[in-house]
Amino acid sequence: MTNYQVDIHPLKPYSKSVSIIGVGATPFMLTKDNTETEGLSEGEMFGAAAIEAMKDAGITAEDVDFFIHAQAGPGWQSNFGTPNMHVANWFGMKGKGSAHHSEACCTGYVALEQAVNYVASGSYDIVLTGACDMSYSAAIPDKPIFMRRYGTDQMFYETLCSVQPRDYTLFSNSATTMGAEGWLDYYVMENGIESEIDDVLTKMAIDARHSAALNPLSLSKNTYEEMAHKFRLESAEQLIHSKYNPKLGKYLRASHFEQRCDGAAALIVCPTEMANKYTDKPIEVLGIGHSCLEWGTPYLEKWATETAYKQVRDLTGLTGADMDLFLVNDFWMTSQLLGAEACGYLPEGEGWKYFKEGRTNFEGDSPINTNGGRCQYGHAHGTSGVADHVEAVRQMRGKMGATQVKHAVTYAMLRGFGGGQNLTCTILKNNG
């Protein structure tokens, strides 16, 4: 692989420490497929998550100084201009200062970064930030917000094309398995695991699905074992290799790609010095590395991950090996393995063994994506990054019930990625 050197500017410490004091999230769902959820709007979804986060922090809307609204694709999902103003009244933000942003599937990670920067600068004390994405049930432009249509695959792939540059680079890079499998193929060849990789990917999918099925907010309610019995197959492994789960590339099957859905999530942040006024379990944001590369850059996920990780590692003095939990944007599941190694959470060239041995599930010593990840928990695009932070905070507080990890979580790392541009690497610390 040709070495690609990115100009890395060091992060500067926050002028004021910032902590997460409240979290909230809706279930991930297919709203149009359920009579109880059909007709839900962005305001109701975002509002539900925001109100839950405020309750978790022990505050009311009056206490919020500024709010941030995020969505991966406001144009095609909601047909909104200034989307923050379309949801503000649903959770008591009328007249508050606010902003909207969109960075594809990295939106939810940038949502935290923006909120932290507002507080660290001293501009505001309490900031609510979050995202709502409804790509499964897209808006009808000339109809009221509760009347929606199915967000078809054709609409989605047209949107994927719109995140790719149309100047001098390869147009179809993200819409095919080329983007998903390039780094994986290099990893397989470099480590000589051609005979092992299918077993690794199979185990990865089964464990992730098990975690998702136990999570009450997950889109997936059944394990692969349970689904196998439904199709009269003998095992989860047989189902993974059956006609119901076809190969979509050289290595990856349908079970290794995201499940598009609807959902919302929110966070409340404030200065760390104030945090104990609201919660006895504040989660400090130590730093957020950030790198951007467009889709035409070969192995862009690898280079941007290494860049963002180096930034936050150098700022905090902490490495991936110091982490107790790792969460990673995995709209193709192999990012769990590749991202974890690139961020030093798993040893270089050895991470595949951890997955094969079951050490990365929530019961293992090196847990990754304890909510099941995008391919099993569900992927509400920009919202998924906020939902990952909700998962991390609840794991750090010991509040995840059936999927709670088996050791204390002092440090957690989250690697965000989206749309072939923004990529972040965040380190959280449990100060509870």
Identity of the residue numbered 227: M
Q: Is the pTM of this model over 0.85?
A: yes
Residues 19 and 285: beta-carbon distance below 8 Å: yes
pLDDT of the residue at 140: 94
Angular region, 395: left φ>0, alpha ψ -120 to 50, beta rest: alpha
Q: How many CA atoms lie within 13 A of 103 on its CB side?
A: 25
∠ CA(381), CA(385), CA(391), 5° rounding?
125
Question: Could you identify the residue written with the tokens 């280079």?
Answer: 303
Contacts of 224 (CB under 8 A, 6+ apart): 205, 206, 209, 210, 236, 239, 240, 255
The span from the CA of 140 to the CA of 45, in Å, is: 17
Please name the helix (run of DSSP H) or strand (run of DSSP E) that holds residue 225, with its range, or none: helix 224-230
CB-based burial of residue 15 (10 Å sphere; 0-12 exposed, 13-18 middle, 19+ buried)?
exposed
pLDDT of the residue at 68: 98
Tokens encoding 191: 């480590």
Count of beta carbons in the 10 Å neighbourhood of residue 224: 26
Q: For the chain, how many residues are written?
A: 432
pLDDT of the residue at 66: 98
Q: Which residue range forms the structural domain that includes residue 237? A: 1-432
Tokens encoding 110: 């940038």
| Residue-by-residue pLDDT tens, the chain, 432 positions | 656 556 678 999 999 999 999 999 999 999 999 999 999 999 999 999 999 999 999 999 999 999 999 999 898 899 998 999 999 999 999 999 999 999 999 999 999 999 999 999 999 999 999 999 999 999 999 999 999 999 988 888 777 777 777 666 555 544 455 578 889 999 999 999 999 999 999 999 999 999 999 999 999 999 999 999 999 999 999 999 999 999 998 999 999 999 999 999 999 999 999 999 999 999 999 999 999 987 777 788 999 999 999 999 999 999 999 999 999 999 999 999 999 999 999 999 999 999 999 999 999 999 999 999 999 999 999 999 999 999 999 999 999 999 999 999 999 999 999 987 899 999 999 997
pLDDT of the residue at 152: 86
The span from the CA of 426 to the CA of 288, in Å, is: 4
Give, in order, the Cα–Cα distances in Å from 87 to each of 82, 129, 144, 270, 373.
10, 13, 14, 22, 27
Contacts of 141 (CB under 8 A, 6+ apart): 79
pLDDT of the residue at 175: 47
The strand pair at 283-292 and 422-430 is best described as antiparallel
Number of structural domains in the chain: 1
Question: Could you identify the residue written with the tokens 């406001």?
Answer: 74
Tokens encoding 209: 């699905």
Q: Hey, what's the torsion of the CAs at 338, 342, 347, 350, to 10 degrees?
A: 30
Residue 11 maps to which CATH number? 3.40.47.10
